[in-house]
């Protein structure tokens, strides 16, 4: 469904936001330990998020990654997913037809489209902050 890179990105973003709530920057090392991901690979993914201003970073001692509560309330799952995996999974034909629409659908179109719209709506409406709260309250886990 989502690529590994994307799963790492989502979990990392959530974890960074949890830590940022305590106003502390989070190091790559800490992140990859807490979300159980390969450190160097996670670094690459986070660089994309930083470049696209989903999260912030600072080099040096006391450096690390950061995302404010305000930002976490504005950023949704879809922001991260679309950045890392692109939008094809959510917009192109489920069976790979070059053109697939109501007018000229693939045989799976109607059933598939309905479900995928729900998935799309879910990631577009779910904010990182919502997920942070669950982790913060110990209701949910990142590894």
Binding site for DNA (CB under 7 A): 3-5, 8, 26-29, 37-41, 43-44, 46-47, 50-51, 57-65
Place of tokens 């879910």: 122
**CB of residue 98 vs a second copy: minimum separation in angstroms?**
8
**The total number of residues written for the chain in this structure:** 143
Tokens found for residue 107: 């045989």
Q: Which stretch binds a second copy (CB under 8 A): 26-34, 50-58, 67-75, 91-99?
A: 91-99
Rounded CA-CA distance 9/80 in Å is 7
One residue of 52, 53, 69, 126 binding a second copy per CB under 8 A: 126
**CB of residue 93 vs a second copy: minimum separation in angstroms?**
9
**Other beta carbons less than 10 A from residue 65's beta carbon:** 24
Measure CA 19 to chain center: 16
Nearer to DNA, 14 or 64 (CB): 64
List all residues 6 or more positions away from 63 whose beta carbon is below 8 Å from its beta carbon: 25, 27, 57
Chain contacts with a second copy (rule: CB under 8 A) = 1-2, 4, 7-8, 10-11, 14, 36, 77, 89, 94-98, 104-109, 111-112, 115-116, 118-119, 122, 126, 131-132, 134-135, 139-143
């Amino acid at each position: 469904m989502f690529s590994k890179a994307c799963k790492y990105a989502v979990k990392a973003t959530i974890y960074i936001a949890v830590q940022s709530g305590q106003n502390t920057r989070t190091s790559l090392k800490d992140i990859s330990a807490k979300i159980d991901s390969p450190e160097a690979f996670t670094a690459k993914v986070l660089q994309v998020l930083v470049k696209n201003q989903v999260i912030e970073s600072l080099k040096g001692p006391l450096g690390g990654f950061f995302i404010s509560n305000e930002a976490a309330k504005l950023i949704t799952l879809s922001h991260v997913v679309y950045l890392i995996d692109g939008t094809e999974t959510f917009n192109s034909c489920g069976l790979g037809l070059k053109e697939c629409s109501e007018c000229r659908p693939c045989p799976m179109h109607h059933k598939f489209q309905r479900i995928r719209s729900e998935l799309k709506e879910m990631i577009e409406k779910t904010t990182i902050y919502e997920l942070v709260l669950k982790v913060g309250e110990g209701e949910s886990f990142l590894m």
